[in-house]
Amino acid sequence: MTYVFDTCTFIVLGHYFPERFPSFWKNLDDFVKHARIISVKEVFNELSNNVSRPHLLKWVTANKKIFLIPTPQETEFLPLIFSVTRFQHLVEVKKRLKGSPIADPFIIASAKTRGACVVTEEDKKKDASKIPNVCEHFDIECMNLEGFMERENWQF
């Protein structure tokens, strides 16, 4: 299974200090090495603006290859997301006006076209335009970091 990580999940990774959790980072690096963890370029851009933990920024920069540009299939899927009126709110007006990176629709499109699972810390909310809501609508598997670690039997 391939996993597409959201920005908020990478932020949570920052709480796992490499000196305290070396086996965690080894597992993570193994998944990256085998292309089982990927993300999208917009997540890299969001992280570049928001990461406060030096070890995480160093890891993200060293693993820049996992942050992929959209494929033609992903680009073709994006209008399907926005054809659902409530999902148009995935692109926040404030971010759009500021020209800030917007990763959510690209994460979803990447997972859908690759048959992958989204890993996000967002929670599903009734009638919301959160990643888990969109994933459920389009039959895309979605879980949080703890669910990912449980599924892959990571124990430390």
Q: pLDDT tens digits for 13-45? A: 999 999 999 999 999 999 999 999 999 999 999
For the chain, give the mean pLDDT: 94
Q: What is the pTM of this model?
A: 0.95
| Domain segments of the chain as ranges | 3-151
Confidence band of 93 (pLDDT split at 50, 70, 90):
low
Sequence-separated (6 or more) residues with CB below 8 Å from residue 122: 6, 8, 130, 131, 132
Pick the CATH number of 3-151 from 3.40.640.10, 3.30.200.20, 3.40.50.1010, 3.40.605.10: 3.40.50.1010
CA 71 to chain CA centroid, nearest Å: 16
Q: In 3-state terms, what secondary structure has residue 98?
A: helix
List, in sequence order, every residue forming a beta bridge with 5; answer none if it has no partner.
Answer: 119
Contact 132, 120 (CB under 8 A): yes
